[in-house]
Amino acid sequence: MRCGVLGDPIAHSLSPVLHRAGYVALGLPWEYDAHRVAAGGLAQFVAGLDASWRGLSLTMPLKREAVALADSLSEPARLCGAANTLLLGEAGISGDNTDIPGAVAALADRGITAVRSATILGGGATATSVGLALADLGATEVRLLVREPSRAAATATALAAHPRSPRVLVEELATAAVTGDVVVSTIPASAQGGDVVTRCAGRSAVFEVVYDPWPTPLAAAALRRGQVLVSGLDLLVHQAAAQFELFTGLRAPLAVLRDAGERALVERG
């Protein structure tokens, strides 16, 4: 059986490392590779797959594009309007979003099981997933700080449609205050200038979804300040474990996946 991770860029992805480690641990003769697929190219890639393919992990910019290809969607994927997982089978293609439960589990690993309010830097598909996870944990207000407010419209709509109906504010990344219990960063390390990092200083916890390069400026500052830090690897491990179980039907060896990811990041320096 074959699986893979798709996106652009994709060379940095640790997903092959994690999934392959799980296959080895459970003695599965499966393959998992990374494939560079640009925006607009997902349908063509899927059309070229044969019956040996079982599942696809999706990263930017394909998560929202994947929804249109799915014959059925899980409730998390439907609510999010984005799928990071496509399960391929005789009955068709089903879409799911393991980022949402993955984010809940990553926060719980660091002792965060309830949230009142939060600020998210960025407004793309990952911001949507983590925002919905925060609403699951009780957040009644979520602020989205973005460079172009109009591009966060889909995320704001999805968060507001959560059953808890959180208040959603969309503001300018360059000037708006960072408030709430948790600040989540979904923006690249290159966009984390000194002013952005400084404005995040007062939060009790930082959730940095980027794991390469590591540490990002925001993560490094959180470590210096003693803030609770939830890492991109924390999220990656939990969402990958959920995908592993969807693809294989077997319980994921979570500790094996985490160890493999940590070793890979150390090797990358």
Q: Which residues are catalytic?
A: 63
Tokens of 51: 């019956």
Task: List C-alpha distances in Å: 90 to 50, 84, 87, 250.
Answer: 11, 20, 10, 19
Q: Pick from 208, 268, 194, 244: which is nearest to 21 by CA?
A: 244
Beta bridge partners of 141: 117, 167
Specify whether the CB–CB gap between 253 and 25 falls below 8 A.
yes
Tokens of 256: 């094996």
Beta bridge partners of 167: 141
CA distance 9 to 269: 20
Tokens 């290159």 belong to 190
